[in-house]
Structures are given as C-alpha cells and as structure tokens.
Amino acid sequence: MTPPRRFAIATHPSQPQVAEGVRELVERLKAMGADQASAYTIYEPELKQLVQQKEIDVLIALGGDGTMLRAGHLVAPMGIPVLGINRGRFGFLMEIDELECEDRLNQLLGGEYRLEKRMMLHSFHRRQDQKLGEWHVLNEVVVCRGQYVRPIQVKARLDGYLLASYVADGVIASTATGSTAYALAVGGPILPPELRNILIVAVAPHLSVDRSIILSEGSHITLEVNTNHEAVLSADGQPPVILKDGDEVDVCASEHTINFVRFQDQGYFYRNLHKYMEQNPIAGAL
C-alpha cells in the first residue's frame, strides 16, 4: 500500500481525558516522519474542511466505537481511510490499542497495511411525499417505540412488496458491521464484516415474525410505522427523530464505502469476537 504522510487525529468532545494522548500521538507521528499531523474533535469545521479537500491521507479515530462511527461518516464520501485506536470501553470497531500503537504506526508509515471495505446503508425518512431527512450509516437504522412501553406496528416492504408485518418494540435494518451491534443484542446472526448484505431483525416481536432476514445488497426496504403513540427513528445512535403514524423509512445500500485500516489477517474478526464474548469490557463498568 502507498505509505500515508498526512494525518488528522479525531477525538470525541465528550472525552476530554483523551486530550493528552492526542498530543503524544501528534508528536509521535511527526517523529516517525509524517509530513502533517494535527488533532481535532470530531465535529470541528476545520477537520471537515481538511477531509472535504482531501488534505489528509488517513484519519485516526482515538476513542471508542462512537468516535469511530462519526469518523467513518465523515471520511466515507471522500474515500479517505480511517484507523481506530481504542481509548474507549469496548472498541469493537477499533484496530489497535495504545500498547501496540508504536509498532502499528511504524507499519502504517511503511505501507504495511491493508484496507477493509465496509458497506454502508442509505436511509430516508418520508412523510407522504415529503422527504424529511436522510442518513448514511455504518451500523444500523432502527425504527422503534418511544418513551411509552408499548409495541408499534411496522410493515416491512421489499422492493415494493410486503415482506413482513411486525408488532414489536422495533425493527432494525443493519449492515454486516452492525450485526455485532444492536442486532446482536436482540439475537440476530453474526455476519462477517466484509459481506454486503442488509439484515432485518425485529426487537421483542409479539406474535410476529421472530426470525432475522438477510437480504442482498441491491434490496430496497421500506419500513412503514403504524402507531397511535410515539415512535422514533435512530440512525447509528444519533439523536432520535420522532415518527408519526404512516411515516416511512426507506433503507438501501449506500453508494459510500468506509475503508478501515487493518494490520491483522482476515481471521482477526473471529478472534476478536471470541475475546469480547468471553470478557465483555462493558460488564466491568456497570
């Protein structure tokens, strides 16, 4: 691979404790021969401008999976790779931790890495003929109940034809990457991350279809909400959007792809999966 020389490091503003690590990382990259290394919080306009003008070769996300998701959203349209360094509790999307940082960064600047392409989803929120919002997501789009503990009705249509009708707490439309996120927590299957499929999983279905459905990349899913109380849409854990009765959420494969920097062989995914299943790092923090 072409050795990168221009870097930006992104952190989440809710993690000020990471700031000192950022300064150390900037100095380390410069000492290794990087032409450019600078640090930002993930929402800073200056970082967005650097990405849009393609003035960096790799974006380094320093934090947890939430930081990695936001970094992916930022760089995917421009095709800039992202490397995750874990400073969070879980870090399932992250590639390295701080203990191996020195060796891995040397590999990166030496061109000894590969790019793993991850599919994204493109989602639209529609009310009658009006489009109210759209999102490109890496993990999932969720249509679910709001603050009232009552199920909602969701009709799922595949390419215009009825696929299933659900009475449930919600319905998840997920990528293979997202199969180890919310979809896993509600009993969905685990998909290898490089697959380009759309996964449909119901959340607490009541007398409804309780099996996950795996669809091809070219599928177009419409989730129609029928409810007399609050329902919401959540895209990759971003702030929820209120849905009204009759609203529709369209989901299909995005034209964008996220490139993750990887150093490990293809089998890393299952080794990491076993590690997280056996010793869930979140459990110790509860």
Annotated active-site positions, please? Answer: 65
Query: Residues in the chain, how many?
Result: 286
Nearest to 223 by CA among 147, 141, 278: 141
Element (H, E) at 107: helix 101-109
Angle between helices 101-109 and 19-31 in degrees, nearest 10 = 40
Exposed/middle/buried for 279, CB within 10 Å: 0-12, 13-18, 19+?
Answer: exposed
